[in-house]
Structure 1
Amino acid sequence: MGKNNSKLFNKNRGIPIPSNPLETVLKDKLTPDELKALPRGWQILGEVILVHIPPALQGKKALVADGLLRLYPRCRTVLETLRIAGEYRQPMVEKLAGDRTETLHKENYVVYKLDAARIMFSQGNFYERRRMGTVGKSERVVDMFAGIGYFTLPMAVHSRPEKIVAIELNPLSYHYLCENIALNKVEGIVEPILGDCREKTPVGWADRVIMGYVGRTHEYLPWGIRALKPGGILHYHETTPDRLVFERPIQNVKEAAKEQGRSAEILNTIKVKKYSPGVWHVVIDARLS
């Protein structure tokens, strides 16, 4: 992610240096007000740059895209991010430069292949993906919302579980999940399954369950809890308003466990990232008796 928020100075002359590198490459092509409006952050996925263009620069999008490609010569495509839509959380984008949106993104020794124009990949979840690479050794794991392998792949590559059942409903994401399993050479660990996790999640089989979906995750808690053996661990993701952070997701987990005659011991609570104004993406780790 290209973030440049600090003000730098030339040590010899005391001359302010633009803190945003885009200002440097576009200084002769934009007005002072337009330079101030330039985006200060963007996301790089392999050879694709994703950026949000503010209203003041909507007429200069091609110039901004050209500037980003000059900053990152290895990149080939620039996409403007508009919004996320639908059950599959598909990104709505506009191509500003280039035409190849399928790319290979490497992170923490894991390779993710995806179409950045059709598949969402949140760099804000980096630390949670990395954390999943530290748990699950020799365990049986169910990833109920596997996507392209966001959490499955780091766990398979680094922790080497006995087996991961990776379930995905979106056919396009499932396609890339299968490709990524092969690219990372974890075919002996990960079993990809296309379908609804309410129908495909095994019962009483797992040592660990990942519920990495946000939005309506609480609706799927009965299946996640039912999958766990006694003593198994649940990683439950939820988007929660500030005033209910951790209270509501903990309550959801405990109530869903109680409905099955089980109890949940809360092991960990994590703020993953700010999801929207006043809303956090959080994770609750719980052990189910």
Structure 2
Amino acid sequence: MSRATAKNPDLSFLAVRAKREDTFAALRSITAQGLLDRSRKVVERGVYTEIPVTASAPGFRIISQDAPLYYRKAPDLAESLRGQLLPEEIELLPRGWYILGDVIVVKIHPCLEPHQARIGRALLDCYPRCRSVLRDYGIEGPFREPVREIIAGTVTETVHRENGVIFHLDARKVMFSAGNLRERMRMGNLGRGEYVVDMFAGIGYFSLPMAVHSPPRRILAIELNPNAYHYLCLNIKENRVEDIVKPILGDCAKATPEGVADRVVMGMVQVTDRYLQRGIRALRPGGVLHYHQTVPSRAYPEQAVRDIAEAARALGRGSQILRCIRVKKYSPGVLHSVVDARIE
């Protein structure tokens, strides 16, 4: 096959070339048009990214990728365990899992508990670069910490790399949601030159993408959980953003300053409304609030919008809704949403 040219790109490897800061917007538009090639990865090339597409995307520059990167086809866990489990047990095997660094996190049906070690070993066979498998039971407690058990391997500390950001974490002790990737990428395009307050910073989920890709003047990252705070400090140093991100170990209800922020990130869910007035008080007039919350699907986005309007009104301030985003499905009939609002 002859080498493709810019005018006649190879149709097998079509991609949109976008500036890195425009990646999120371009990816959202391409996905909405149904043109995203999900078999290939988004690739960074210097100051640009290449977004794989199945056909020309109107309004975007189309190139032919010289070195496309493909996703590995998800392994068939059922096939690898066939003959070791009963047919009815095969039907209960997990259909999905996610990988943090070199640790696999998976939910397992209670009826398969006697076989969890075998399932763990099978997953490690599927992913030779991984070192451990954790069974996930959900989250609990005031710090919303994961409840997880090692079923294969011994290592739980890992290094997860994503969108040019390095995250050190212990997958057994702190949360890291794979479903929030697009929101973390979006945050990496916001806040340039601003004073930002991240009220539930965790290990730096949103602070670090901002600091690495769109440097604010200052980020005040507040975290109450000592385990998460330990990794927050480590990640700030690892990503070399010590001059931008200031970590604070404390309760954001007490540690959040008033009237100083151009932007406030409230990246917690379920209990976030209890801190909403505090987040609004932190903002200067005209500042932007990112309010994360879980809402029933049937009440999206009205419930979260109402939370903001009522909290602002109680403080004698106005609010303008800029954007409502469905981050992911949280549970049956419930969404994790984020609402962007300008607070006057």
- Do the two structures share a fold, i.e. TM-score over 0.5? yes
Secondary structure of 2:192's match?
A: coil
Q: Secondary structure at the match of 1:37?
A: coil
Which residue in 1 is equivalent to 2:220? Answer: 165
CA-CA distance at 1:242 after TM superposition: 2.0
CA drift at 1:260:
1.4
Displacement of 1:23 in angstroms is 2.4
- Deviation of 1:272 after TM superposition, in Å, equals 0.7
Q: 1:20 to 1:72 in 2, by over 3 A?
A: closer
Q: Take 1:168 and 1:56, find their aligned partners in 2: how far apart are those partners?
A: 37
Match of 1:227 among 268, 279, 282: 282
Match of 2:310 among 230, 233, 255: 255
Partner of 1:151: 206
Distance 1:93 1:287 in 2: 39
Corresponding residue SS for 1:49: strand
Question: For each residue in 1:92-133, what CA deviation from the matched residue of structure 2 results, as whole angstroms up to 9, or x when unmatched?
Answer: 111101111011011111111111111111111111111100
Q: Are 2:148 and 1:97 aligned?
A: no
TM-score (norm 1): 0.91
In structure 2, the partner of 1:37 is: 92
**Kept after mapping to 1: 8 A contact 2:75/2:126:** no
Q: Distance in 1 between matches of 2:79 and 2:294?
A: 38
Asked whether the 8 Å contact 1:208–1:228 carries over to 2, the reply is yes
Does residue 116 (structure 1) correspond to residue 177 (structure 2)? The answer is: no
RMSD: 1.4
Contact 1:20 1:40 (8 Å CA) reproduced: no
The aligned residue for residue 283 of structure 1 is 338
Q: How does 1:1-289 map to 2 (within 5 A)?
A: 21-289=76-344
Instruction: Compute the displacement of 1:274 (Å).
Output: 1.1
Amino acid of the structure 1 residue aligned with 2:311: A
Q: Kindly tell me: are residues 104 and 20 of structure 1, through their superposed partners in 2, closer, same or farther at Cα, counting changes over 3 Å?
A: closer
Q: Secondary structure of the equivalent of 1:56?
A: helix
3-state DSSP of counterpart to 1:165: strand
**Structure 2 regions of 5+ residues with no counterpart?**
1-72
Q: Which of structure 1's runs of 4+ aligned residues deviate more than 4 A? A: none
Could you list the per-position Cα deviations for residues 226-278 of structure 1 after superposition, in whole angstroms to 9, with x for gaps in the alignment?
Answer: 11111100000111112221111111101111111110000000111111111
How far apart are residue 20 of structure 1 and its match?
A: 5.2
Letter in 2 for 1:198: A
Distance, in Å, in 1 between the alignment partners of 2:74 and 2:204 is 35
Q: Is the 8 A contact 2:193 2:217 kept in 1?
A: yes
What is the TM-score normalised by the length of structure 2? 0.77
Letter in 2 for 1:235: H
Identical positions, percent? 56
Cα distance between partner residues in 2 of 1:229 and 1:96: 49
